[in-house]
A and B are shown apart, each in its own frame.
Chain A
Amino acid sequence: MRTLRDMKCGQSAKVVKLHGEGAVKRRIMDMGITKNIEIYVRKVAPLGDPVEVTVRGYELSLRKADAEMIEVQ
């Protein structure tokens, strides 16, 4: 399974499924990362975590641990 965590800077991919449950998952979905949406990895923070992605036309940052919940194509 390939997740957002495995993606390199500058790569785009389509979201296949969100794993996990509870507040973090809900929050990720609320922020617009849902099935079939295109997600683009813009940048990694200078200390290696979190990452910055572009989704639905805006910038979002999330931790690598949470990015693991997002399965991509």
Chain B
Amino acid sequence: MFQHSDEKERIKMRVKIALAGNPNSGKTTLFNALTGSNQFVGNWPGVTVEKKEGKIKGYTSKAEEAILVDLPGVYSLSPYTLEEVVSRNFLIGEKPDAIINIIDGTNLERNLYLTTQLTELGIPVIVAVNMMDLVRKNGEVLDIEKLGKDIGCKVVEISALRGEGIDQLAQRAVAIARGKKKNQPAHRFDGCVEHALAHIEEAIAGRVDESMERWYAVKLFERDEKVRESLDLDPALIRHIEEDIVSCETEMDDDAESIITGERYNYIGNIIEDCYKKRVKKTMSTSDKIDSIVTNRFLALPIFAAVMFLVYYVSVTTVGTLLTDWTNDTLFGAWIIPGAQSVLEAIGCAPWLTGLLVDGIISGVGAVLGFVPQMLVLFLFLAFLEECGYMARIAFIMDRIFRKFGLSGKSFIPMLIGTGCGVPGVMASRTIENDRDRKMTIMTTTFIPCGAKLPIIALIAGALFGGASWVAPSAYFVGIAAIICSGIILKKTKMFAGDPAPFVMELPAYHLPTVGNVLRSTWERGWSFIKKAGTIILLSTIFIWFAQSFGFEGGTFKMVENMENSILAAIGSGIAWIFTPLGWGNWKPAVAAITGLVAKENVVGTFGILYGFGEVAEDGAEIWGTLSGAMTQAAAYSFLVFNLLCAPCFAAMGAIKREMNNGKWFWFAIGYQTLLAYTVSLCVYQIGTWVSTGLFGAGTIVALILIAAFLWLLFRPYQENRMRKMSQNAAGEINA
């Protein structure tokens, strides 16, 4: 019995349980049902895969706590995908006290495949058969007792959605975790495979934990590189093992990996026959009926367009913008900021302090929070689309187009949302499972001109191109071209090299999502933006405010009257030479570009101030005349392109940082965007000048060389590095 005085006993009562299962098996719902609000979200070490932990309800006290770790949804424990490797490393490295394996009762065969791997680890496993209500409704019968006996572990029936069987599952799981009885896999493979496995187990005996011998033997049989490396076996032993594998391969006329997979599925086939009664009559399920319309050859694209229009219309055009404008213009713009200003002035606060509080901090907070309502609206849609199963269909429908430049079919949504605002656009990339596709999408989404870039386009078009109608469409063209070219170029670099991720994707059955799940997912994403992106946005905004308002005026450092004396102007003058090759090496456009980092529409306002017009209209019509005198057309278009492509505003950078979740990748993304912007702008200006004036100089040569290099990057052949490379990359990322 448990005694408070006995320290050993006490430790024994605290357990760590892993929750494993296939994607779409109801894992998230179960995790929420088991832990309630006791959750904390983090990241698996070194990777961008999200890690969720929580305390199981009823086991939250310090002495008896049961921590539940939500593993990424995986179909297998193969060494190939990041999620699988993360799950494996956790199970082998941290050895949880038990595993809860949730399986979808309506899809037993494929779900049990993971179970056969989990039971080999020696860790106590409890299988939770989910969606039992549906199984019964379909008139099918599953004998839980027999199933438990066949797979060699405890089995309980649950319905995560309805909260049935959750308490019983929690009690049993904690009990087996405390019991710490090693799990013995019940399954046996074909005679010759077992023979080879026995040999391997013998050979590695003593080198690995006894309870895990089976797991290691199977992995060595599969020639799993990662396991081989981790065991550091001596070459003679590897040769010896190899002989066993090869003889088995010859006998079964297949390769080792296929043999094991085949054996697992054969074994599962036998179990199903033993304990599962399917209904013979096959009718079309509701899900099938929906799918026959939604992904219909002729209707799929119109339906897709309609859904996308609805998402865009509500989250960007109407409700979203309304909320954002209200937060920015009314809540902060009309109430909080003027309110705080008058209060501070009334109490006689020093002007610099008022400035810091109001223009620096409160505006900075406003910059963070202003995006949140719109984002929540979008996340609501995304959560719904994901939960109901349509998101997988989007990937199915759009894959053909997007995979050509290294993106996923799901990249469509971030790009679409990006035309409204890059911040939720970047955040929407969360729905892309594949790590490389997601990173690529994050890096390229902000190339699409967002709403805040439109004033810059209007300014340039109006001031230098007589309001020509081609300027705005050309900006979108530049954005799309930047995405496509970046996709192709990056895909050929080392960082993104290797095979395109296998697009072997489950199309889950449609179902109506629960309100709770949708709201929770919406809130989690919104909150993670505030928390993770908020800091960077706030600090950057304050810094720019400070640099813009302070400087040396009349020999002393103080809050400046004239922006020309500010630190920012000094910085602008200091870096203006960098932009000389782009045709606008003057401090004013340089400063305008910097203030554009706070929010892109600031570029126009800054021009207004710097050219002495004070407040200007949104398209800066007042300064068109001055600007057209200050810049050539080529320079102006180069300025436009630079602002379209370079590092986005701080809010979007914050979102990029949040989504990359890795400093190195964040800087790589920002650096790449800025470098691309610089190169393209340089070419635009130099070639533009050459064409319009006939001047051919050193700059033109540089531009031509850059174009040649760009074309080479674009059209060079793919590097031949198949799977090996990819698994190394994955390993590198894990170890990093």
Contact = CB atoms under 8 A, between A and B. Distances in A.
Contact of B396 (A24, A26, A48, A50): A50
Given A29-B257, A45-B295, A60-B505, A23 B300 contact: no
Contact of B502 (A18, A44, A52, A66): A66
Interface residues of B, number: 44
Given A46-B301, A56-B109, A61 B507 contact: yes
A58 B110 contact: yes
A5 interface: no
Interface in B689-734: 722-724, 726-727
A63 B401 CA distance: 12
B503 A22 contact: no
B400 A50 contact: yes
A43 interface: yes
B504 interface: yes
B193 to A, nearest CB: 14
B184 to A, nearest CB: 24
Contact of A18 (B258, B401, B403, B508): B258
A21 B502 contact: no
A52 B257 contact: no
A73 to B, nearest CB: 16
Interface in B58-107: 75-76, 78, 80-81, 107
B113 interface: yes
A35 B258 contact: yes
A50 B399 contact: yes
Contact of B399 (A21, A25, A26, A45): A45
Contacts of A61: 392, 396, 503-507
Given A27-B504, A59-B507, A63-B399, A32 B265 contact: yes
B496 to A, nearest CB: 15
Contacts of A63: 399, 403, 503
Interface string B470-514: 000000000000000000000000000001001111111100000
A7 interface: no
B516 interface: no
Contacts of B38: none
A30 to B, nearest CB: 4
Given A46-B301, A47-B397, A59-B507, A32 B499 contact: no
A59 B107 CA distance: 10
A30 B113 contact: yes
A13 interface: no
Given A32-B265, A44-B297, A27 B399 contact: no
Nearest to B295: A43
A29 B392 CA distance: 20
Contacts of A60: 504-507
14 contacts: A22-B723, A22-B724, A23-B80, A24-B504, A26-B78, A30-B75, A34-B265, A35-B262, A45-B295, A45-B397, A56-B109, A58-B509, A60-B504, A61-B505
Interface of B: 75-76, 78, 80-81, 107, 109-110, 113, 254-255, 257-258, 261-262, 265, 291, 295-298, 300-301, 392, 396-397, 399-401, 403, 499, 502-509, 722-724, 726-727
